[in-house]
Amino acid sequence: MKVYINGKFYDKKDAKISVFDHGLLYGDGVFEGIRCYNRLVFKLKEHIQRLFESAHSIMLKIPLSKEELIKAVIETLKVNKLSDAYIRLVVTRGEGDLGLDPRKCEGKATVIIIADRIVLYPEELYKKGMSIITVPTIRNLPEALNPQIKSLNYLNNILAKIEAINAGYEEAIMLDSLGYIAECTGDNIFIVKNNQLYTPPQCMGTLRGITRDTVLEIAKKNNIPIHEHVLTRHELYISDECFLTGTAAEIVPVVKVDGRVIGEGKPGKITLKLMKEFKKLTRTEGVRY
């Protein structure tokens, strides 16, 4: 495997950054997870746009233009001879000192691109659906660290993931400070009730997921009514269908939440429809190389 770091490619064992990089010391940086299907990088421009928005929000200057970054992603895939891949694009504040002051890193941002394969959940879960739980760790307050900034500071999500794993589950729901559903540890969440689609709004402490937005687009094209408003666990428990979305996860059905069976206890018709349409889009939407 070859890893891109600041314009050069290194073998995996030689791909290193400074221990003084503020991305390591403080989680000071941003990232994107991107998928490539049969030499088509899905929604690449949208991912790059979101990366720049996250960077702008934390006053981090990316040393490459959007066009240059797109070329670097494509080159990384070509160098690794990958046609299907998961791409991790990382930009850190760069090397500084042991203090918090980001000015000590000015002009030294680190750009890293890793292309590899990923399997987030077992294939069986996509066919039969998964069971998830709600965990005590709440989602970051937008006023503290806005979840719409896809930052390297991911400890909030990791702590919730640990709680899920300790309880024997693959994924977990995180609530906001008021007890409403925010999102899962690495995915956005949707429910279906009476053939209508519901998902928490971005203001509830959720990431503006690229896959989430894609699902909303698909639903609109297929005349499925969509609603973005606050959701309680009660509304989730009595829903007809539930599913999660994410770049790595794609669309994965949920059939049980906190011990409550959702709908008929199997992937629902709208979920299956959206999964089918999403796979079609992965063959046409993105940057071909």
Q: 243-285: per-residue pLDDT in tens?
A: 999 999 999 999 999 999 999 999 999 999 999 999 999 999 9
Evaluate if residue 221 carries a pLDDT over 90. yes
Q: Quote the pLDDT of residue 79.
A: 98
CATH architecture of 2-116: 2-Layer Sandwich (3.30)
Q: What average pLDDT score do residues 160-170 get?
A: 97
| Phi, psi (degrees; rounded to nearest 5) at 175 | -95, 165
Evaluate if residue 21 carries a pLDDT over 90. yes
Kindly give the pairing relationship between strand 250-257 and strand 130-134.
parallel
Provide the token pair at 11: 């073998």
Lowest mean pLDDT among 40-54, 113-127, 148-162: 113-127
Q: Quote the pLDDT of residue 281.
A: 96
Provide the token pair at 183: 């999102």
SS3 49: helix
CA distance 230 to 200: 5
Q: What average pLDDT score do residues 200-217 get?
A: 91
Evaluate if residue 43 carries a pLDDT over 80. yes
Per-position DSSP letters for 24-88, written without gaps between them: HHH--EEEEEEEEETTEEETHHHHHHHHHHHHHHTT---SS-HHHHHHHHHHHHHHTT-SSEEEE
CA distance 173 to 160: 8
pLDDT band at 26 (very low <50, low <70, confident <90, very high): very high
CA distance 35 to 286: 10
**Other beta carbons within 10 Å of 268:** 21
Contact 283, 43 (CB under 8 A): no
pLDDT band at 211 (very low <50, low <70, confident <90, very high): very high
Contact 224, 197 (CB under 8 A): yes
Contact 46, 53 (CB under 8 A): no
Evaluate if residue 112 carries a pLDDT over 80. yes
End-to-end CA distance of the chain: 19
CA distance 253 to 120: 14
CA-nearest of 94, 21, 89, 24 to 60 is 94
pLDDT digits (tens, 9 = 90+) for 222-232: 999 999 999 99
pLDDT band at 106 (very low <50, low <70, confident <90, very high): confident
For residues 118 and 130, which has the higher predicted lDDT (pLDDT)? 130
pLDDT above 90 covers what percent of the chain?
94
3-state DSSP percent of the chain in helix, strand and coil, to 5: 35, 30, 40
pLDDT band at 139 (very low <50, low <70, confident <90, very high): very high
Kindly give the pairing relationship between strand 85-92 and strand 286-288.
unpaired
Q: Quote the pLDDT of residue 118.
A: 85
Where are the alpha helices (H) located in 198-251, listed in sequence order?
210-221, 233-237
Q: Quote the pLDDT of residue 8.
A: 98
Q: Quote the pLDDT of residue 205.
A: 76
Q: Quote the pLDDT of residue 204.
A: 79
- What counts of helices (H) and strands (E) characterise the chain? 9, 16
Q: Residue ranges per domain, the chain?
A: 2-116, 123-281
Provide the token pair at 46: 């949208």
- Say whether 13 is catalytic: no
Topology of domain 123-281 in CATH is: D-amino Acid Aminotransferase; Chain A, domain 2 (3.20.10)
Evaluate if residue 207 carries a pLDDT over 90. no
Distance of CA 223 to the CA centre of its chain: 26
Contact 33, 157 (CB under 8 A): no
Which residue among 81, 150, 193, 276 is the active-site one?
150
CA distance 60 to 67: 18
Q: Quote the pLDDT of residue 203.
A: 82
Q: Quote the pLDDT of residue 202.
A: 85
| Phi, psi (degrees; rounded to nearest 5) at 217 | -65, -45
CA distance 215 to 200: 13
Residue with tokens 């071909």: 288
Lowest mean pLDDT among 30-34, 102-106, 201-205, 252-256: 201-205
pTM equals: 0.95
CA distance 250 to 31: 18
SS3 115: strand
Q: Quote the pLDDT of residue 12.
A: 97
